[in-house]
Structure 1
Amino acid sequence: MSSKILNVGLIGFGLSGRYFHSPFLTTNPNFKLKTVVERSKNEAQEFDPNIENARSVDELLSDPEIDLVFICTPNDTHFPYAMDALENGKHVVIEKPFSATTEEAKQLIAVAKEKGLILTAYQNRRWDSDFLTIKKLIEEDKLGDIVEYECRYDRFRPVVPTESWKEKSVPVGGNLYNLGPHLIDQALVLFGEPETVTAEIRSVRPNSEIDDYFDVRLGYADKLVIVKSSLMVYENFLRYNLHGTKGSFIKGGLDPQEETLRQNILPTQKPWGHEPENRWGTLYSEAFSGVVESEAGDYAPFYQNVYDAIVNGAELAVKPEEILRTCRVIDLAKESSESKAVLKF
């Protein structure tokens, strides 16, 4: 195994760069978080004085020492920044959404393949406590054959005056692009490509400038898969409803890693990623009915996998073909919502 250390550059230092990526990159000895692009602020140095600043994307990408770039900027910049990074010979991790369309995703993947570079999407929610728990229950056949799966990610966020682009009518904006990639990716990891996609996407909050509600339904021959999100759900504890031929599993609450990271606690603190008991789900079946302790969540394997793919030739955990199918579902969901039609995948 190689002892090579990868120099990393972050483009952007908002929630994603500061609270998701930096803690895991700085605590993994295989990485050195060398440079962060901040046009005027110096918040990266507040996190770690050893991090350098770049005042532009070009400045970062022109640094020959940078091996790997994380793109943590507004959604409409993901494609051009990723393309620039690849053209400059950098490996790339793109925050969700990976791109605005499937065609853009194909272009990026083609360039990465041509140049022999690693390109992947930040699908950290595959390592959430709740998702790992459901995955284990399905693999252990505790629910039998799944006939209905529903995953929700709701929030209660009334519209208030803000300059945040996330609440503005901007290109590649809205809740489907924000939370949709995670929920869709999880469903596809569990069940593979659907036969059909049906969706309703709309604004439900007074004075909302964005689509803040989506209901995407993936049709399979033997099951219905529903992923939903609304920003106007006051009681938003519910997360998963699974019904199978042997039983049901119902679970609420969110994986605790984000809230822990926001408290400036590093992932080296153990135990890590353990959900409080009031978030554990309940299994209902003839064999067993009762509370099921959640698996511990941990985003660290995502980063280690990226390193192993770059340095040791390992297979990516989040593969290009998986990225493309998530992008295609989003494309079809938008088209379905506009046309009020059931579309073939």
Structure 2
Amino acid sequence: MREPVELRRRRILSVVESRGAVRIAVLAAELDVSVVTVRRDVEELAQTGRLRRGHGVARPVRDPELAPAVPESRDREPSQDAGAVALVVPERHSYLYETLHGARSALEESGVRIALHIAPPSPGAERSLVGRALADGVRGLLIAPRWPGLRAEERDHDWLADVGVPTVLMERRPRPGSPLHALDSVCSDHWYGTHLAVEHLVALGHRRIVLAARDDSPTARSVRAAFAEIAAARPEVTDWTVVLSSPQAAADGRGAATDLPALLRERGATAAVLHGDVDALMLVQRLAESGMEVPRDCSVVAYDDGVAALGSPPLTAVAPPKAEIGRAAAELLLHRLSGAGGPVRRTELLPTLEVRGSARARQADID
């Protein structure tokens, strides 16, 4: 039996009001009717003032009584971000830009407009941008705070836990017991990614391993902590240490310089894990300048896999699922915006290991 017209139109209104702008083709697929039928319904609903039509999309009509109070001004135009989803990421952060693109694809496929905000590296930048986005009427928030250190993270706890619209953290894991513990989040399982790197090197016979990693982001801190835990628990690893990957890799910008080639020689290390790719590529160059060849004298595994494959040799790398993180975070936010309830979700996606030419077996070191 065919669905009554008025019931179908109520369903269209429900979807549009919960999500914001929705493409006609998406509505047709979800309602299991033709695009022509949905277009006709949208035109009728628009004529009676129950929604607004756009180019291939249906948009909700904002209720002035429910709209946020905005100071009246003759010079102020209605915000173009009303009903959009705010997406906040740090400035000059290529890792998170891949996450951004994954979120963008999922939101655009659902017909949801994005209000992108780039946060400069200054204290309180994210809070200011989110406040501005809320004043403009956004109805949801996807955010990846910079959090160079624990204090920066703690400063964001209270206000971010009380934003007032559905919010999902991207590639950030709330600290246990913090005000953000009960916030939806989607991130990579960096413990597992670090495990992949160590497991690969141990299987190749390496017993002395150095981790050179950054210390200016939640990802960096997760990788450092995971490596220390994993290496200490592996009886095959007879010597290991964690150092900064570059003098600029600390949260305060005052990291101590480490001569990695000299350190590798001093400890008799035959393998190194580098976070991230650029530091790994630089290490290969520095080793070559000091007379050490990769992988003959030292095996190298990068952590990021943004440009690792472009090295000479191409670097074996741990690849966090960055774009998939963004897509999953956006899909979770769309789920919340649809009015669906359910428990808070803390989703972790597993990285993979891309094996290339920068690590090889050390037969002499195998017990």
Q: TM (normalized to structure 2)?
A: 0.40
Q: Which has the larger radius of gyration?
A: 2
Larger strand percent:
1
Q: TM (normalized to structure 1)?
A: 0.42
